[in-house]
């Protein structure tokens, strides 16, 4: 799947019938997801992660830009055609399984529904497929007749995963799939997703605000800020502390790993409005590296050069920043590890 310069603007109320305003939920997104690849998406609440996820599954139509899927431009398809094309090929798992599942339907009906809608197989084959998927995601056969309300949060998310896989998608989009769950079951659901991704050879997009979780499950990590993709880094670069965008560094410092303890980077400036984003780099109101030049225009993507100079660039690592982090002295003073006196 490939997004080219995709924008999503959503209308918002202004309180006045004469003034119209729109949230810049997604701005100029360029992104390609290869077969079998897992791409993580991170950023604070409101930065546009869910909007991007919805564009990928066809639930949100771009205001402008192009969405290509398996070589076909799906942007111009009408709503029903798009639902038919992407509905079968792309599965989605939402944050809260309690609201994503119809409370009045049994697990069996919930899982059969996509097969009925897309007229897959005979009635007996559909029932067989329901049992097959329940076993694949680790649900007991006895859960077939249960209503979502009778299941635990973890079991409900397993139902949602089974439903997303019903039509054998090639891409699975998981929007914060564990954040509404108890801490004790998060790892189980995460491991289930990884296992399925591996066994079924799926591409996966994994959305979360926790960069450490994301980099563990993904091949590469995309950082979003105020509707924009600001960095696209291999997970190894995130694990090795070699991301370049100041905002990615701030996210990393908010959830430090045990191996690499680090003080949290405090972002003090005002949080910008998504209705009237700042000129130039959207992060400049909170960035400790900002200069006047950062307000002039949004920096273009730059391919990262290695921090140890041996070759010319790091393949697959790009960021949009005029003053990237390449040395510990580029971090705010308080976060630089102090030598023992
Ligand atoms: N239906 C909507 N109408 C208007 N604004 C919306 C709507 N949904 C989301 N937004 C706004 O779009 C921006 C991006 O939201 P979202 O994609 O949900 O971010 P995230 O998933 O990263 O929290 C936010 O500023 C949010 O307030
Ligand atoms: S472009 Fe400027 S304001 Fe934006 S992240 Fe880089 S240094 Fe900070
Ligand atoms: Mg969201």
pLDDT tens track for 202-217: 999 999 988 988 999 9
Q: What is the pTM of this model?
A: 0.92
Residue 272 lies in a domain: yes
The answer to whether residues 10 and 107 belong to one domain is yes
Q: What is the Cα–Cα distance from 114 to 118, expressed in whole angstroms?
A: 6
The answer to whether residues 39 and 153 belong to one domain is yes
pLDDT in tens, 13-51: 877 777 789 999 999 999 999 999 999 999 999 999 999
Q: How far from 284 is each of 116, 130, 227, 263, 323, CA to CA, in Å?
A: 50, 51, 14, 21, 11
Query: Which residue minimizes the CA distance to atom 7 of ligand 1?
Result: 10
The answer to whether residues 121 and 259 belong to one domain is no
Domain end (from 218, 246, 278):
218
φ and ψ at residue 269, rounded to 5 degrees: -70, 170
Work out the number of other CB atoms within 10 angstroms of the CB of residue 155.
20
Residue 103 lies in a domain: yes
Evaluate: CB of 290 within 6 angstroms of ligand 2: yes
Tokens found for residue 159:
């139902």
Work out the number of other CB atoms within 10 angstroms of the CB of residue 60.
18
Query: Which residue minimizes the CA distance to atom 1 of ligand 2?
Result: 321
Domain end (from 187, 218, 249):
218
Question: pLDDT confidence of 115, banded at 50, 70, 90?
Answer: very high
| Long-range CB contact pairs, 332-339, < 8 A, 24+ | 332/265, 332/266, 332/288, 334/263, 334/266, 335/253, 335/262, 335/263, 335/264, 335/265, 337/262
Domain count for the chain: 2
- Name the residue range of residue 311's domain: 221-335
More confident residue, 79 or 129: 129
- Ligand 2 atom nearest residue 322's Cα: 1
Evaluate: CB of 171 within 6 angstroms of ligand 2: no
**Ligand 1: which residues within 6 Å by Cβ?**
10, 12, 23, 25, 43, 45-51, 274
The answer to whether residues 186 and 253 belong to one domain is no
Evaluate: CB of 284 within 6 angstroms of ligand 2: yes
The answer to whether residues 24 and 171 belong to one domain is yes
The answer to whether residues 227 and 107 belong to one domain is no
The answer to whether residues 134 and 263 belong to one domain is no
Please, are residues 286 and 332 in contact by the beta-carbon 8 Å criterion? no
Tokens found for residue 64:
């402008």
Which residue among 284, 302, 325, 331 is best mutated to probe the pocket of ligand 2, counting the most ligand atoms within 8 A of its Cβ?
A: 284
Residue 249 lies in a domain: yes
The answer to whether residues 181 and 286 belong to one domain is no
Residue 341 lies in a domain: no
Q: Is the pLDDT of residue 315 over 80?
A: no
Domain end (from 199, 218, 237):
218
CA of 214 to the centre of ligand 1 (A): 21
> Strand 171-175 relative to strand 203-207: parallel, antiparallel, unpaired?
parallel
Query: Which residue minimizes the CA distance to atom 3 of ligand 2?
Result: 284
Work out the number of other CB atoms within 10 angstroms of the CB of residue 321.
21
CA of 275 to the centre of ligand 1 (A): 11
CA of 254 to the centre of ligand 3 (A): 19
DSSP label at residue 244: -
What's the half-sphere exposure (Cβ side, CA atoms, 13 Å) at 324?
21
pLDDT in tens, 241-263: 899 999 999 999 887 665 566 77
What 3-state class would DSSP assign to 308? coil
Closest Cα partner for 222 from 204, 196, 200, 198?
204
Whichever domain contains 266, its CATH number is 3.40.50.300
Question: pLDDT confidence of 113, banded at 50, 70, 90?
Answer: very high
Residue 340 lies in a domain: no
Q: Is the pLDDT of residue 310 over 60?
A: no
- Ligand 1 atom nearest residue 11's Cα: 4
CA of 299 to the centre of ligand 2 (A): 8
Residue 52 lies in a domain: yes
Q: What is the Cα–Cα distance from 220 to 238, expressed in whole angstroms?
A: 9
The answer to whether residues 164 and 55 belong to one domain is yes
Which residue among 269, 290, 319 is best mutated to probe the pocket of ligand 2, counting the most ligand atoms within 8 A of its Cβ?
A: 290
Kindly state the average pLDDT of the residues 121-149: 96
The answer to whether residues 29 and 167 belong to one domain is yes
The answer to whether residues 100 and 186 belong to one domain is yes
Please, are residues 174 and 207 in contact by the beta-carbon 8 Å criterion? yes
The answer to whether residues 132 and 273 belong to one domain is no
Residue 292 lies in a domain: yes
- Ligand 1 atom nearest residue 209's Cα: 22
Residue 309 lies in a domain: yes
């Amino acid at each position: 799947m490939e997004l080219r310069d995709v924008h999503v603007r959503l209308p918002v109320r202004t309180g006045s019938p004469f003034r119209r305003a729109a949230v810049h939920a997604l701005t100029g997104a360029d992104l390609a997801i290869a077969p079998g690849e897992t791409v993580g998406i991170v950023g604070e609440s409101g930065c546009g992660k869910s909007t991007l996820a919805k564009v990928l599954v066809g639930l949100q139509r771009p205001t402008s830009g192009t969405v290509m899927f398996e070589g076909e431009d799906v942007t111009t398809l009408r709503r029903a055609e798009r639902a038919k094309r992407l509905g079968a090929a792309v599965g989605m798992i939402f944050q809260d399984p309690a609201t994503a599942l119809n409370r009045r339907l049994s697990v069996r009906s919930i899982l059969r529904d996509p097969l009925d809608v897309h007229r897959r197989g005979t009635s007996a084959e559909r029932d067989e497929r329901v049992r097959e998927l329940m076993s694949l995601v680790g649900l007991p056969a006895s859960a077939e007749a249960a209503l979502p309300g009778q299941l635990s949060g973890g079991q409900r998310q397993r139902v949602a995963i089974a439903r997303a896989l019903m039509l054998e998608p090639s891409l699975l989009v998981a929007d914060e799939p564990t954040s509404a769950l108890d801490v004790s079951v998060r790892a189980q659901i995460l491991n289930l997703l990884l296992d399925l991704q591996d066994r079924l050879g799926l591409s996966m997009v994994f959305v979360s605000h926790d960069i450490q979780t994301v980099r563990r499950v993904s091949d590469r990590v995309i950082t979003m800020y105020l509707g924009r993709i600001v960095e696209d880094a291999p997970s190894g670069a995130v694990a090795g502390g070699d991301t370049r965008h100041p905002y990615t560094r701030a996210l990393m410092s908010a959830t430090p790993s045990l191996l690499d303890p680090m003080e949290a980077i405090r972002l003090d400036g005002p949080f910008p409005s998504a209705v009237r984003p700042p000129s130039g780099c959207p992060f400049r109101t909170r960035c400790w590296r900002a200069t006047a030049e950062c307000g002039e225009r949004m920096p273009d993507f730059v391919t990262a050069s290695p921090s140890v100079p041996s070759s010319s660039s790091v393949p697959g690592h790009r960021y949009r920043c005029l003053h990237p982090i390449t040395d510990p002295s580029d971090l705010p003073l308080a976060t630089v590890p102090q030598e023992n006196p």
